[in-house]
C-alpha cells in the first residue's frame, strides 16, 4: 500500500512538473522572457551562486565607467569572478545602438542589457532592451537624446575569450547617392540672412543631377516648387513617423501619393529656390509634430572600432609608484582613483592602449598599458 502511494506521488509530481513547463511555455508566447530570465530558471531562487551573480548585476547599475562610441574591448570572461561590464554612454535621437559580443565558444551565454537614464544625474535608470535567449547581441533605435547604460554579463563559472563592440549607426540611409559625411558642409542652427534666422537642417553638396534618395520606406506627401526651398519633395516616413524634407532640387522624380522604398530616387541635386547663388546641394530636414529637429544623427555614417584578439591576461601588478585610474579609456577622462606600486589588479579587458581593470576594493576603471605588467596564469 505504501509503495503504491509512493508511486502515485511520483507520478503526480511528474504531471505537475510537466504542466508547469507547458504553462510556462504558453506564458512565454505572450510575455517574451529575456535571456537573463530564461537562464535564471535553471537555478533555485535561493541558489547561493545565482544570488551572487544577480547581486553583481545589481551593483553594476551604479558603476561610473564612461566611454565614447565607437568602442571595442577584448579580454577573458573569468570563471573565478562574477565580473560584470557596465558602461555609461551618451546617445542621440536618430541613432541605433548596436552591442555585440563575439566569442569562440558558441554555447557560452552572454547577457546584454540597455538602460536609459531617468535624469541627467546617472543615478536612476530604467530597462529599455535586453538581449534575446542565446543571442549575445542587442540593437535599439534611440528616440530620446540623453544618457544610457550598457551592461554585459557572462554566465556563471565558465571562462572564455571575448571581443565586445559597441557602436551606433543612423536609422536612415544617407540621402544623396554616393555622398558621405564630408559632403555635409552646412549644419543645423548655422545663421542665415545675417542672423535673422537659423538653418533648420543640413546641406549636402554634390554635383548637379546627383540622385537624391528615400532615406526610409514611406509615402510622398507633397511635391512642387515654392518658397525658399525651390523644387522640393516631402516624404512621410513609414517606419518612425517623421516627415522628411528635400529642397533645392534640380528636378523631381516622384509624384504625391507614391509609395517608395528606402533607396528609391526622389529627385536630383540642384540649387533652386533661394540657393541660386550657391553651389548645387540638397537641403535635408526632418520634422516632428512640434517642428524641425537636427537631422545629423539620423544620417551621419559611423565607424566600428577595431579590436585586438583577446589575450590570456586576467591579473596584473602596477609598475609605478602611482598609477591613475580613470573613468574612461583616455587621458581626457576624469581620474577618480590611484594604485600603488605592486598593487594586484584584475584585468577585465583592453581597449586600444588602456586596460579595463578592477582593484582589490572593487573599484573599476581604466589604466594605461604602460603602468602595469601581466601576472602569469595560476
Domain ranges of the chain: 2-31, 32-173+303-310, 181-299, 312-378
- Calculate the average pLDDT of the chain: 89
Cis check: omega of the bond before 70, within 30 degrees of 0: yes
- Is the pLDDT at 242 greater than 90, yes or no? yes
Alpha carbon of 69 to those of 19, 135, 215, 328: distances in Å? 47, 22, 23, 12
Fold of 32-173+303-310: Jelly Rolls (2.60.120)
High-pLDDT (> 90) share of the chain, %: 69
| 179-194 tens-digit pLDDT | 999 999 989 878 887 7
Higher pLDDT, 109 or 189: 109
pLDDT mean over 53-71: 93
pLDDT(24) > 80 = no
pLDDT of residue 279: 96
DSSP string, 167-200: EEEESS--SBTT--GGGEEE-TT-EETTTTEE--
Asked whether 136 and 113 are in contact (CB, 8 A), the reply is no
Reported as a single tens digit per residue, the pLDDT across 306-335 is 877 777 788 999 998 889 999 999 999 999
Name the fold adopted by 312-378. Answer: SH3 type barrels. (2.30.30)
168 against 135, higher pLDDT: 168
pLDDT of residue 29: 47
Residue 22 has pLDDT above 60, yes or no: no
For residue 34, name the pLDDT band (cuts at 50, 70, 90): confident
Q: What is the pLDDT of residue 4?
A: 64
pLDDT in tens, 4-20: 665 666 655 666 555 54
Class of domain 181-299: mainly beta
What pLDDT does 25 receive?
Answer: 47
The percentage of the chain sitting over the pLDDT mark of 70, rounded to a whole number, equals: 90
Bin 7: left if φ > 0, else alpha if -120 < ψ < 50, else beta: alpha
* Matching fold, domains 32-173+303-310 and 312-378: no
Identify the pLDDT of residue 26.
Answer: 45
What pLDDT score does 10 carry? 63
Amino acid at each position: 500500500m505504501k509503495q503504491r502511494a509512493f508511486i502515485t506521488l511520483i507520478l503526480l509530481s511528474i504531471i505537475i512538473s510537466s504542466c508547469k513547463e507547458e504553462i510556462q511555455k504558453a506564458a512565454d508566447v505572450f510575455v517574451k522572457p529575456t535571456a537573463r530570465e530564461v537562464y535564471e530558471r535553471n537555478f533555485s531562487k535561493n541558489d547561493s551562486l545565482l544570488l551572487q551573480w544577480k547581486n553583481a548585476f545589481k551593483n553594476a547599475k551604479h558603476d561610473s565607467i564612461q566611454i565614447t562610441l565607437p568602442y571595442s574591448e577584448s579580454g577573458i570572461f573569468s570563471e573565478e569572478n562574477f565580473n560584470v561590464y557596465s558602461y555609461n554612454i551618451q546617445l542621440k535621437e536618430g541613432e541605433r545602438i548596436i552591442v555585440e559580443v563575439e566569442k569562440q565558444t558558441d554555447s557560452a551565454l552572454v547577457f546584454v542589457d540597455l538602460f536609459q537614464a531617468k535624469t541627467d544625474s546617472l543615478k536612476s535608470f530604467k530597462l529599455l532592451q535586453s538581449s534575446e535567449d542565446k543571442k549575445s547581441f542587442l540593437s535599439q533605435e534611440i528616440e530620446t537624446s540623453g544618457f544610457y547604460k550598457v551592461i554585459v554579463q557572462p554566465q556563471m563559472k565558465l571562462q572564455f575569450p571575448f571581443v565586445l563592440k559597441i557602436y551606433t549607426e543612423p536609422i536612415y540611409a544617407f540621402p544623396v547617392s554616393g555622398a558621405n559625411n564630408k559632403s555635409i558642409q552646412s549644419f543645423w542652427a548655422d545663421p542665415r540672412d545675417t542672423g535673422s534666422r537659423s538653418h533648420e537642417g543640413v546641406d549636402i553638396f554634390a554635383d548637379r543631377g546627383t540622385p537624391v534618395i528615400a532615406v526610409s520606406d514611406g509615402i510622398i506627401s507633397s511635391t512642387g516648387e515654392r518658397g525658399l526651398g525651390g523644387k522640393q519633395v516631402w516624404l512621410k516616413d513609414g517606419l518612425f513617423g517623421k516627415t522628411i524634407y528635400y529642397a533645392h532640387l534640380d528636378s523631381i522624380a516622384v509624384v504625391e501619393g507614391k509609395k517608395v522604398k528606402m533607396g528609391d530616387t526622389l529627385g536630383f541635386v540642384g540649387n533652386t529656390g533661394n540657393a541660386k547663388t550657391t553651389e548645387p546641394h540638397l537641403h535635408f530636414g526632418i520634422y516632428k509634430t512640434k517642428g524641425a529637429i537636427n537631422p545629423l544623427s539620423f544620417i551621419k555614417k559611423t565607424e566600428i572600432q577595431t579590436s585586438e584578439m583577446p589575450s590570456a591576461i586576467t591579473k596584473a601588478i602596477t609598475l609605478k609608484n602611482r598609477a591613475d585610474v580613470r573613468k574612461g579609456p583616455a587621458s581626457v577622462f576624469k581620474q577618480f582613483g590611484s594604485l600603488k606600486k605592486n598593487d594586484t589588479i584584475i584585468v577585465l579587458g583592453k581597449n586600444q592602449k588602456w586596460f579595463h581593470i578592477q582593484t582589490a576594493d572593487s573599484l573599476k576603471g581604466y589604466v594605461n598599458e604602460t603602468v602595469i605588467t601581466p601576472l602569469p596564469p595560476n
